[in-house]
Amino acid sequence: MKQSLFMAEMKAIVTNRKLLIPIAAVLFIPLLYAGMFLWAFWNPYENLKELPVAVVNKDKGANFEGEKLELGKELEKEIKKSDDFDFHIISEDEAQKGLKNLKYYMLIEIPADFSKNATTLLDDQPKKLELKYIPNEGYNFLSSQIGETAMKEIRASLQENITKTYSETIFDKIKQMGDGLAKASDGAGELDEGALDLSDGAKKIKENLATLAEKSVQFSQGVSKAGNGTKELASGASQLHSGLAQLEDGGNKLVAGGQELQSGTGELAEGISKVQGGLHTVDEKMGALTAGTEQAKAGVQQFQEKLPALTQGTQNLATGADELNNGLNQFEQQLISQLNSGMNQQLEQLMPALQQSMTPEQIAGLKQQMAQQQQQMEQQVKGAVGQLRSGTEQLAAGSRELNGAISGQLAPNINKLNSGLGELQQGQQQLKAGVHELASGADQLATGVDKLQAGQKELVGGVGLLSSKLGEAEAGAAELAGGATTLSNGFGQLNEGSSKLSEGTKQLADGSKQLADGTTKLEEGTNELHTKLEDAANQANEVNASDKTYDMVANPVNVERDGINKVPNYGTGFVPYFLSLGLFIGAIILTIVFPLREPAVRPKSGFSWFVGKFGVLCVSGVIQSLLAIAILLFGLKLEVQNVPLFIVITIITSLTFIALVQMLVTIMGDPGRYLAMLTLIFQLATSAGTFPLELIPKALQPIHFFLPMSYSVSAFKAVISIGDYTFMWQNAAILGMFAVVCLLVTIIFFRGMYKRQYGHQPVTSEQ
């Protein structure tokens, strides 16, 4: 039954020209994509010699080492020999006009100072050679990129030629340098002889300066000793002058002190006279003071006798205050009780009259008011009694404190006071006797002071005479100190000069030693210089450069390109991309010309319905694959690593794309076909068929792993160029999983659609 439905679909296609012709045409779609596009871009670099390029030479040339240098013409010759492009050496106006009129794809201009800049290598500011490259990118962008690569090759060739020219010049200069080194070697020999004579003279200077330095040291030591003696003389004279000055100053101070002592003695005599009068007055008043002390002692004794009665009275006062405080508590309770009882009796007496004139509510309110008044009166009584109680408590406390003070402090202190007055009385008796003796001594002191004043007058006169003589001696000592200082300063300067002389001669002697050593080294250095210059001259003259040497300097590095998995041309590299694209486009167009839902006959089941449709698509996909393979292998001569595996991968890719497109279009119709086109667009951008995956935007890179064309491109690369069949089968397996998932979804859809359309109809025996 499955085969009959498939055959019915095939019969419907063969017998219907409107269906057969479009399907047959669609079978060639992958061939057109894979064949036509790849044929057009199979190897475009073979035809670069047909690409017109304008060249303008404006170089004016330059003189270099006495020769005419014209690099512009040399470059013209190289360009004419080249087959890289179709070069046209023309004028600037013609080139600009041709570039604007799209006659040339690019313009190469050789500037006027091209050769001149090549001669500035040894200048302070050398200038680089410049070539102007003007592409017409709007005409064709890829041609500008190809031209840029060609310009790099031209620049490399120019660099090699220019470096070769520089190398020839440099080696010529090396030969000239060898001649100069030989002359320099001869001069260094003469310099060596002069340095030897200079060394001998320096040794004699060194010996004489050493003797001079030794004698200058002895002279400096003698001057130093004489200078030390003058310093000691100046120091002694200065000390003498300073001592006499201090002695004169002391004499003046002694005179002034004697005068002040004389004045103080007068004041002392006057003070002693006053003390004498005061002591006599005190001696006379001591009797009255002793009598007053006796009266005070008698009063204290009387107060001491009254202290017991005062102590008992304060104690009784404290006891009475405590009893009064206790009575106040009883009085407070009795007063509150009597007031409450009286108010209650009055209320009971008035109650009969109140009951007649007032309602029960008013009587209750009156009782409540009286209760409040009783509480207020009770609070007032308690407050008043509390204040009275506080006062009695303070009175009791104060009485106790007063009793304690009298007993504990006042009584002992009164006893001490009485005892002290007794002792004071005895001291006054002793004081009276001492004052009497002091008055007698003051009389004797007054007599001695009078004698002291007379002696001081004679002392002041003698000290004044001594002070005047010391002034004359101090003036003489000052003159002596000044002369000694002048002499010391002179010897100091002489000593300093001799020290500098000694130091200078020593430095001169040391310098002569260094001079001698330096001239010796100079002689050795000139000798070595003569030898080295001679060797350098010989080596420079031995340099013999040839054309091979110049070529080595100009182009020291050769780059050898040895790649793996070589791709012979552009077309081979693009086959995985364009073949995948053609097969996917073919799958989409098949859904346009072949109905994916309407069966040719009534299906027996959903699965037979699916097999009928997919069978036709499968046959079409295989035919598409084989046609594309034929044109690639036999028409474009595509070279692959394994032809049978290439055929297998092509068929797997075609059937995977057909399964995906069938699922989308069968389930959604035209929206599914639109979704298939969107899938194709995303695959073209993310399949890494042209640029590497890493070069596309990062936002698109994750999409690469979810689309089948990414794996078909990788599988084709493996079987065409790489030869890694393990990698090929890995990608083929992923394509197979895509196909299986899509086919299962399509089968489920057909089964559901079969139940909706034919589930209620009986099955007939129609084929």
- What mean pLDDT is predicted for residues 626-638? 87
pLDDT of amino acid 431: 64
pLDDT in tens, 285-321: 767 767 766 776 776 677 677 777 767 877 776 787 7
Could you give the C-alpha distances from 386 to 325, 379, 389, in angstroms and in order?
A: 10, 10, 5
pLDDT band at 733 (very low <50, low <70, confident <90, very high): very high
Q: Coil, helix or strand for 132? A: strand
Is the pLDDT score of 212 beyond 50? yes
pLDDT tens, position by position, 651-665: 999 999 999 999 999
Least confident segment among 222-236, 670-684, 738-752: 222-236
**Is 49's pLDDT higher than 60?**
yes
We find that the CATH architecture of domain 48-175 is 3-Layer(aba) Sandwich (3.40)
Task: Burial-class residue 665 by CB neighbours within 10 Å (0-12, 13-18, 19+).
Answer: buried
Residue 1 has which token pair? Answer: 């039954």
pLDDT value for 389: 78
Q: Identify which of 66-70, 471-475, 506-510, 662-666 has the greatest average pLDDT.
A: 662-666
Arithmetic mean of pLDDT, 363-386: 80
Q: Provide the 8-state DSSP code for 136.
A: -
- Higher model confidence: residue 544 or residue 412? 412
> Which of 106-115, 182-191, 268-277 holds the top average pLDDT?
106-115
Q: Who has greater pLDDT, 238 or 148?
A: 238
Which stretch of 519-528, 614-623, 734-743 has the lowest confidence by average pLDDT?
519-528
pLDDT at residue number 3: 47
Whether the pLDDT of residue 134 is over 70: the answer is yes
Q: What's the pLDDT tens digit per position in 143-179? A: 555 656 666 666 665 566 666 665 665 566 566 666 7
The percent of residues above 90 in pLDDT, for the chain, comes to 9
How confident is the model at residue 742, as a pLDDT?
A: 95
Q: Which pLDDT score, from 0 to 100, does residue 116 have?
A: 80
Higher per-residue pLDDT: 531 or 48: 531
Residue 109 burial by Cβ neighbours in a 10 Å radius (0-12, 13-18, 19+): buried
Tokens representing 496 are 């300093």
Evaluate whether 456 touches 262 at the Cβ level (below 8 Å).
yes
What confidence score (pLDDT) does residue 766 get?
43
pLDDT at 663: 94
Count of residues in the chain? 767
What pLDDT does 735 receive? 95
Least-confidence region, from 154-168, 601-615, 674-688: 154-168
Round the average pLDDT of the chain to a whole number and report it.
74
Q: What percent of the chain has pLDDT over 70?
A: 62
pLDDT of 712 reads: 93
Which one of 93-107, 278-292, 497-511 scores highest in mean pLDDT? 93-107
Does the reported pTM lie above 0.85?
no
> What is the per-residue pLDDT across 500-516, written as a single tens digit (0 to 9) for each?
756 766 776 677 667 66
Contacts 24+ apart (CB under 8 A), 210-219: 210/509, 210/512, 212/505, 212/508, 212/509, 213/502, 213/505, 213/506, 213/508, 213/509, 216/498, 216/501, 216/502, 216/505, 216/506, 217/502, 217/506, 219/498, 219/501, 219/502
pLDDT, tens only, 323-332: 767 777 777 7
Winning range, highest mean pLDDT, from 241-255, 382-396, 703-717: 703-717
Range 702-722 average pLDDT: 90
Checking DSSP bridges between strand 67-69 and strand 132-135, what pairing results, if any? unpaired
The per-residue pLDDT for 1 is 39
The angle subtended at Cα 407 by Cα 404 and Cα 409, nearest 5°, is: 85
Between residues 164 and 726, the one the model is more confident about: 726
| pLDDT score recorded for residue 326 | 79
The gap from C-alpha 328 to its chain's centroid, in whole angstroms, comes to: 89
Which pLDDT belongs to residue 2? 43
pLDDT for position 443:
75
- Over range 266-281, report the average pLDDT: 72
pLDDT at 747 over 50: yes
**160/58: higher pLDDT:** 58
What average pLDDT does range 663-686 have in this prediction?
88
Mean pLDDT of 89-95: 85
- Positive or negative, the CA dihedral 644, 646, 651, 653 is positive
What is the per-residue pLDDT for 738?
95
Q: What is the DSSP string of 190-209?
A: HHHHHHHHHHHHHHHHHHHH
Q: What is the mean pLDDT of residues 584-610?
A: 84
Q: What local confidence, expressed as pLDDT, does residue 310 receive?
A: 67
- Tokens 């308690």 found at: 382
Q: Looking at the domain that runs over 252-488, which CATH code has it been given?
A: 1.10.287
Domain ranges of the chain: 2-43+569-758, 48-175, 252-488
Per-residue confidence band for 261, with pLDDT thresholds at 50, 70 and 90: low
Cβ 732 vs Cβ 649: under 8 Å:
yes
What pLDDT score was predicted for residue 657?
Answer: 95
In tens, the pLDDT along 1-36 reads: 344 656 656 665 666 666 656 666 566 666 555 555
